[in-house]
Structures are given as structure tokens and as C-alpha cells.
Structure 1
């Protein structure tokens, strides 16, 4: 992280380390300065750390640099969000903060409740975001002067999804992205934490001119297999993308789906919808049944999706197989028919991120309605089923390696949201139908045959 800062002409470095911990990041930065790699005459450090049990270790870390006459550290024991937000919002009682030239951050990661003091303080400072890590980055960026550099290690979740849209707009509106480093394994770099998503290191320049972006990757924190490539900014944030998703390509190979003329249709143009499964089981617990009974309908969970199809019912399963029809449950049910569903969550190191399967009504006998549990995304036509070939064609398309590679460029966590699926471009209805008719005729589908047939259709 410290190595990503580029030397500049600044005589005095004003360094911000928010969430400083025991001072590891500040120490790495100061090591570069002491070695002469960063040519400041003076470094003034503001280290914010709210956990007082870490202060003695933090002070000891900084003591190692006290022999340098032009090093001036200050440890702030107060809450960085409140301190920064108060100053930025013009609070007359706020402690004055300087205009920083550099910021290095390993911020805390925790959701911010909509009614919390942190959320209210952030709004006063003009920041709208949902997690402490993005709040720290937004405030630090606001405290930088023009040309100021920020390097942070943060979860990748801000790169896509509606909740982080305001944060993405803030970052892209105020700064240039110069470097992104991706840890490709969710488990290796942060073995001591329950990491459910990929983490990145990002370098931003406040008010900088946006040019090509360097993207480096490594499996873990040893950096033994470090690889770096440069990409035009148009491959990081696609032109015309209103959501401003941030893509992180891991190979200079072209993203086939971004430029393919055969894959340019939105779901709305196809007359299709995708929704999160409406049945939230704990809310309808009295109506759940372990196995089908009189006056029940099938309830489909991710566990029922096996090898592109459905196995139902599953005796002795941990989850119920059916839900009772009732005035309180009918509003959550879909008409029986063919559907394409995608699991919302994948396991940590699962081979595929996007996994689709076809719901065939013949599996469920004469059931008039179907229940889709909340951990599935459902493709439908106004809560009704799809033509059979279309359901199979959608599933085949979503199970291609091309889709999985495309999805991984902007989604680095275990969740596949309906919003993400809604924003992907799709082939035409005619092409999806042809793919479905081919899939139906196959005795068995493999990843190789799926990819080969899709490539043939694209040719």
C-alpha cells in the first residue's frame, strides 16, 4: 500500500491514517520517507484510533520515527467520522483539521444503520453511504487537497449494487482511480477473518485527471504471483453505465459480452423480469411443511437446484419442501410454469459465481402454484412462467463461462443480486430460444458443450 504513493513536489506531507490501529500503515509510509524514496522535508501525521487499548502500541510504533526532527505525529482518540463530518459540515465547535496531502487507510467494516448518529453526521457532511469503510474513504477524500493521494484496503462490495451508487458517484466525481489491486482468494489473504468477498487496494487522486488504470492481482498477501496490467478507463467504468459499476478485469483478454453485437438486449426489451424470490421463510413459518400435503404447493430453495435442474422433494432435508396455500401466502406465490432461477449466494471458493437452473412444472405434478424462497432470483413474465425453450436458453446463457467472467469483473462477493442480473445485457429472444431448443435436445450438458454452443451462436 505504501509503495503505491507516487513521489511529488510537496515540501510538507500532511498524512492521515484513520483507523490507525497499531500504526502499521503509517510505519510503512514513514519507512519510505526515511529511506529517501519520498522526498518530503517534513511529515505531519494525524493518526485516528478510537480503541484506547491500542494507543500505547500505536505510540510505540511512532516513537521509532521521533528521532527525525521534521516528523510531527498526533494521535487522535476520538471518532474519525464525527470529527471529520463536524469539520466538513462547518460545525463551529469542531476541531480544525488540515487539508491533507496523503491518506492511508485500513478502515473498519460494519454496516451503518439508517437512524444511527454516524449516518446523521455523514449526511450533514454531504456523504450518503451504508458502511463504515466507505464512510471513512469518502471523508478522507473530502479532507484531501487537490492532487492529494489516498490508498485504502477495502472490501470490493462498493463496486456494484444500488446501495453503494451514491458512494461510487462521489468517488468518481471527486477523484481519479489510478490503481486497483485485487486479492483473488476470499480466504487466503485474510485467513483470520470471515471474509465473504474479495478485498481490494485502491489508489485515488483527488481532482486528478483520469487516464488508464493499473490493475494488479495476487492470490494472497504474499504477492508471490503478482501480475499487473493497464486498462483504458472505459473498461473500468463502462461508458453510458448509469449505475457506474466499477469493473476489475483480471486479464487483458477482451470481455466478450461487453462488445458482442449479439448480446445487447436489456431484460425490459425482451419483455422479461427478474425478482428476488418473495417467500421469506421465517415470516411464513406457520405455513411451512416438511413434505407436500393436501392444500400445499412446492416451495423451492437453492438446495433443490441440482445440475441445472430441480430435485424435489428432498426427504429429511433441513429446509421445508412445501408451503400451505392460504390467504396470507397466496400473494407470495407464482403460477406454475417454466422458470429460470439463479442462486443468490455461492460458497466462498465455488467454481462458478452465477449458477442458473430450469424449473420444470412436470417435476411438481399438478401443482397450480409455486413458491420461490428468498435465496433465489427468478426470471418471469409478470409472475408467470416462460416458454419452455426460453427458460432453457436463459439458463444456458447464464451458465456460460463468458457470463461468469463478465460478472466477476464487477461483483466480488458471494451474492448475486437481482439488480446485477437486471443490468446484464442478453441475447435476443430468438437466440435464447435457439439455445434452449438445443439444450433440451442434449442428453447431458457440460461446461464445454455449453460454451461451445454459445460461441457458435455468437459467430
Structure 2
């Protein structure tokens, strides 16, 4: 007889193609392939509990629960019995779910029709402040933004959970509902690891649980390839009310796990001590990279009087003032398309973006004085090798323009909204364009967006060293990536 997981996976492959994109968007749910489900079930440690109380929220057709229960049936756990609670909002999937969970002896299935957030936030555990009894939770939660004043956001807020996406809400609730020592394994987008919007979620889980294991797929598109999901995903195992110790980090190219590599790391490499944002880093090798090792890279931007801000010109809000090409009464408006490895090119004809903005009473407060700035694109494409791409704004490219407009898709390094000394701007760009910076950045950033907050919290060389780097760059002219990377290795305190 086939294991229930294989039966569930056959159903998944049959059902998934018939789910419309509109339906997926409504529920934010992508069904878990059997290979991923089996790997997630393998991450649970041995347990001494006699009765397992299993939670599967957003259970779909039951692949995750089946993977867990198949491991139990094969002798992977010593439970006498399992109480399996599975939430599923989709009427079209619950029949399959009930059939799959009902195929096990010794399992008491409880299929709950409805909205997990709505039902869980009404749970008595939040009234009594006592953890409920789930000993294990296995989750592939839905991925969908939660609107600021939606019923979900308000319900979560009432129980002390502040978050912006269904997936992080599901994980926070599962942690809250776990018994002391309870194990939670979830596959979720990696976007929670950094950025201000997920800071309350990071605070919530790190206060209540220890991170035990993280698995990273090196290919963005392979974990849910049948559904063409391109979000970078991570599998994480959390342990409720436990002391944080070392963390296991594993990687594989895709969901076959044929090239699985595993390393252990001290927690200090995962969440840096004294990091107020509690960014979660995912180092993919035991060796520290050049950024961690260099004694010359220990400064913050604030130490050096440098600030970084998102470009203040939001074009759609100032649409009536935008001009395709420069003319009388306009000043340069800069987009990422104006920058390349060769420097600043302005104006750019046929760019499909305006090159200029009128200078008037409505736009004046969004403009910066002309000068040298370092800029970093906020978005890179998934195909690009580099996440961080830095360029130098060269005022000579704009003639005698007294002020500049920086569009919202750029991050701008400045000194109190004024330009930087030329050598400092060029030194910042050299440093930010090193391979080591890009590798280090990817350890906590799992999506294509580079936020000003991310750049603000990075460590940099001192102002003096950055100026030296800039002077070196000005003498070198055109530089290869190898030359830039080699120069980083020569930095001393």
C-alpha cells in the first residue's frame, strides 16, 4: 500500500493545475510537494511525548501532516497516539484532507473548516496567557499581504501580534499555541529575515522560541516549481520556550535535496548581538567572509556623519510636474536607468521614464543640492548576479543645475541632504560594489529589494578609509571586479 503522502501528492498534482491564479491569489496558498514535505518532517527531533498533538494550519490536501505521520508509522517517533488538528479554509480541498488523515490507525484527526487567524485569535490561550498544547506544528502557510485595517490585522493586534503577511501571522500563532518545548517547522518566504515591516514578528518569535534549524534553497524557483513561485523560501524549525544555542543551517539547490550541505553556527552569527533590528542572517558556509573578518570594517554610517535615505521623489504623486526631457524651469530627475558601471548618463532618450521635473513650490522640498552622491538601486531583477549595485552621481553630468531630484527607486547616501566629498562618494561606491558586501548582504536579505534600513545597519570602513578607497578609484579609472575585491583585502585599521 502506498504511503499516505504519496497518495496526497498524487492528488496535489491532479488538483493544483485546476486551481486558477485568481483562486491562488485569494487564498495565497501553494500546495507542498512531497519531497519538501518529507524533508520538513525529517527535521523534527526525537520526542519523548506519548501523545503527539499536531497542528497543520493551512493544511491543503494534507501533504505535511501525511509526511509527519508516515515518519511516525515507519518508527521515526515513539508516540502512542497522535491528535492531528488541521485547518483548511478552502472547501475544495477539505474532502481530500479528511480522506488522507483518516487513513492512519492511532490518529485522531480534527479537520477545522475556516479561517485559522480568526479562529486561533479567539482561542482561550490568549485570554489565559497560557500556552496551549500543540507538541508539534508543521506549516506551509499562505503568502498574502494583510491590509493595515483589515479584520485579520485587528484580530492579530488584539492578541499582541503585529505583522504584515498571512505567513508570518500563521507562524506567530503556531508559536503562541505550542506547548513548552513544542516544535514548529514551517516553509515560508525569507522576507521576514530583515526590514522594518517584519521587526515586530522577529521580536515575537525570538522572545518565545529558539531557532534550531534553517534550510535555504539556492534556486529561487525550485521549491514550488509546479506553481511557478519565485519568492525565495526558507524552512525554519523553532522550539518553544527554549534557550537559544547553536543553529544548524543547511542548503540545497532544489527540492531533490541531492546536494544537501549542513553546517552548525553559533547564534551570534544568526542574530548579531546588539542589533536593534534583530535581522536574521543565514550564513551558507562555516567560514566568515571578508566583511566579518576585517578589523577595518567596524563603523556605522552614523559614526561617520553619513545618512542614507530613500529617494524622496515619488513620481506618481508629482505626475503633473514631470517632463520627458529637460527644458526651461526644470531640473534633472534621476532614476536607476541613469546609472551604469560607466557612471552617470543624463538625459536618456526613450527611457520610458521622465528625465526632468519642474522646480516650483510643490517640488522644492523634495530636491537635493547638486553635488556628489552615492546611490544604490532599491530593486534588482531576480536574474542579476548582484543584489547591491552602487553608483556615483557626478554633478558635471547636469551642467549648471543647482538641484537634483532623486526618484523613489534609489537609495541616496548624503550628509544632511547635501552632497558628499567626491572621494567619499566614490569610496562608498567601491566598497558597496565588492563581492564580499554582496555576499554578506544576502545572508539577511532574501528578496530583491534593498532598503535604506538595510544599508544603514551594515558595517563600513571608517570615513578616512572610504576616502582612501575613493582616491584609489579616481587614480585607477576603469576597474575590474577582481581589482575591487583585491583592494578590499588590503584594508587595515
- Normalised by the length of structure 2, the TM-score is 0.89
**Residue in structure 2 matching 1:270, options 281, 286, 304:** 304
1:131-158: CA deviation from partner (whole Å, max 9, x where unpaired): 1111100111111111110000001111
SS in 1 for 2:47: coil
The equivalent position to 2:460 in structure 1, one of 394, 418, 426, is 426
Deviation, 1:88, is: 4.5
| Other-structure match for 2:426 | 392
Distance 2:303 2:355 in 1: 35
Distance 2:405 2:362 in 1: 13
* Among candidates 87, 94, 119, match of residue 55 of structure 1: 94
Structure 1 residue matching 2:383: 3-state secondary structure: coil
Q: Pick from 122, 146, 152 the counterpart of residue 86 of structure 1.
A: 122
Q: Which residue does 1:234 correspond to in 2? A: 268
SS at match of 2:332: strand
Once the two structures are TM-superposed, the CA of residue 196 in structure 1 deviates from its matched residue by 5.2
CA distance in 1, matches of 2:203, 2:335: 36
1:375-414 maps to which residues of 2 (within 5 A)? Answer: 375-414=409-448
Q: For 2:151, which of 90, 94, 117 is the aligned residue?
A: 117
Residue of structure 2 in register with 1:200 after alignment: 234
Match of 1:158, SS state, is helix
Q: CA deviation at 1:259?
A: 4.3
- 1:64 matched to 2:103: yes
**1:37 aligned partner:** 76
Q: Measured at CA, do residues 237 and 88 of structure 1 come closer, stay the same or move farther in structure 2, by a change above 3 Å?
A: farther
Aligned-pair distance for 1:349?
2.8
Counterpart secondary structure, 2:42: helix
Secondary structure (helix, strand or coil) at the match of 2:148 reads coil
Contact 1:196 1:413 in 2 (8 A): no
Provide Cα deviations, 1:246-288, integer angstroms capped at 9, x if missing partner. Answer: 1100111113323432111111111111000011111111111
Deviations 1:105-131 (A, max 9, x none): 000011111211111111121111111
Q: Who is 1:77 aligned against?
A: 113
Whether 1:354 and 2:388 are equivalent positions in the alignment is yes
Equivalent residue number for residue 48 of structure 2 = 9
Structure 1 counterpart of 2:332, from 294, 298, 301? 298
CA 1:228–1:97 in structure 2 vs 1: closer, same or farther (change >3 Å)?
A: closer
Q: Secondary structure of the residue that 2:86 maps to in structure 1?
A: strand
State the alpha-carbon separation in 1 of the partners of residues 465 and 241 from structure 2: 45
Shift of 1:64: 2.4
Q: Give distance in 2, aligned partners of 1:51 and 1:374.
A: 39
Which whole-Å CA distance do the structure 1 matches of 2:124 and 2:383 have between them?
Answer: 41
Once the two structures are superposed, the pairs formed by residues 310-349 of structure 1 within 5 Å of their partners are 310-349=344-383
| 1:150 equivalent in alignment to 2:184 | yes
Name the CA distance, whole Å, in 2 between partners of 1:457 and 1:261. 9
Contact 1:98/1:143 (CA < 8 Å) preserved in 2? yes
Aligned to 1:26: 65
Q: Report the 3-state secondary structure (helix = DSSP H, G, I; strand = E; otherwise coil) of the residue aligned with 1:163.
A: helix
Distance 2:231 2:111 in 1: 31
Where do 5+ consecutive residues of structure 1 fail to align?
none
C-alpha contact 2:54 2:135 (8 A) present in aligned 1: yes
Deviation at 1:396, TM superposition (A): 0.3
**1:237 CA displacement:** 0.8
- SS of alignment partner, residue 366 of structure 1: coil
Q: Contact between 2:290 and 2:489, CA under 8 Å: does it hold in 1?
A: no
SS of corresponding position for 1:237: coil
Q: Does residue 209 of the first structure (1) align with residue 248 of the second (2)?
A: no
Shift, 1:192, TM fit: 4.6
Could you tell me how far 1:60 is from its partner in structure 2? 2.2
Unaligned runs of 5+ in 2: 1-39
Distance in 1, matches of 2:245 and 2:109, equals 34
**Tell me, what secondary structure is at the counterpart of 2:333?**
strand
**CA separation in 2, counterparts of 1:261 and 1:178?**
30
Alpha carbons of structure 1 residues 445 and 274: separation in structure 2 relative to 1, 3 Å = same
Deviations, residues 403-446 of structure 1 (Å, cap 9, x unaligned):
11110111111100000000011111110001001101123111
Q: What RMSD, in angstroms, separates the aligned Cα atoms of the two structures?
A: 1.6
Rounded to whole Å, the distance in 2 between the matches of 1:197 and 1:383 is 34
- The C-alpha deviation readout for 1:41-96, integer Å capped at 9, x for no partner, is 1000000001111111112222322xx1x21001100211111111146569xxx9
Deviation at 1:209, TM superposition (A): 2.5
Give the match for residue 487 of structure 2: 453
Number of residue equivalences = 453
Q: Report SS of the residue matched to 1:294.
A: coil
